[in-house]
Amino acid sequence: MATQAIIARLTDPDDPTKFAGMYVGGDGYPTHTGRAVWRQVVAHFRGDLDQAARYYIDQHPTGWKLLGAEAIGDDICYCHDMHEGEQDHWLRTQDQVDSIDYTYVLRPEGLEILRHGRGAGRLIVPWDQERVNWEAIQEKAIAL
């Protein structure tokens, strides 16, 4: 079974636990999807979380098959393979994470990684961190 994830934005400025995001069907681990989102927000979007959220959530309403490891152009979305009317189920909220392994929430202070199910927990990778040890983050996220 694939490691599934969600890339999300905050939806309620008064409640930091409320988010909505787009489904990622494969390789949702921090060492792949987490690293890709963090790199793309820092390098491609230059820290602009609104622009990043528009790309990940609004411009690809059917979700992602896989995010590219290095660049935006390597991302594979479901947009071209879905039929009209099948897109709504890909948008997920904090109440719809039962079968999802990870959620990556775009927060002003950094990328929040939420681990769901067994070993549930959270950690934040700051946007301004110079070097990120994604393997250590994944080990910690798995052990949460």
| 35 φ/ψ angles, rounded to the nearest 5 degrees | -60, -45
Average pLDDT (59-66) is 86
What is the average per-residue pLDDT within 38-52? 95
The total number of structural domains in the chain stands at 1
Q: How far apart are CA 102 and CA 117, in angstroms?
A: 9
How high is the pLDDT of residue 5?
A: 92
The CA distance from 39 to 19, in Å, is 21
Cα-Cα-Cα-Cα torsion 120, 19, 25, 124, nearest 10 degrees, comes to: -50
Q: In this predicted structure, what is the pLDDT of residue 7?
A: 95
The pTM of this model reads 0.87
> Does the pLDDT value for residue 84 go beyond 60?
no
Paired strand residues for 52:
none
| Residue 141 clears pLDDT 70, i.e. is over it | no
pLDDT of residue 90: 64
- 3-class SS of residue 144: coil
Rounded mean pLDDT of 97-103?
Answer: 82
User: Model confidence at 41, in pLDDT bands (50, 70, 90)?
Assistant: very high
pLDDT of residue 100: 85
Task: Quote the domain boundaries for residue 100.
Answer: 5-143
| pLDDT for residue 52 is more than 70 | yes
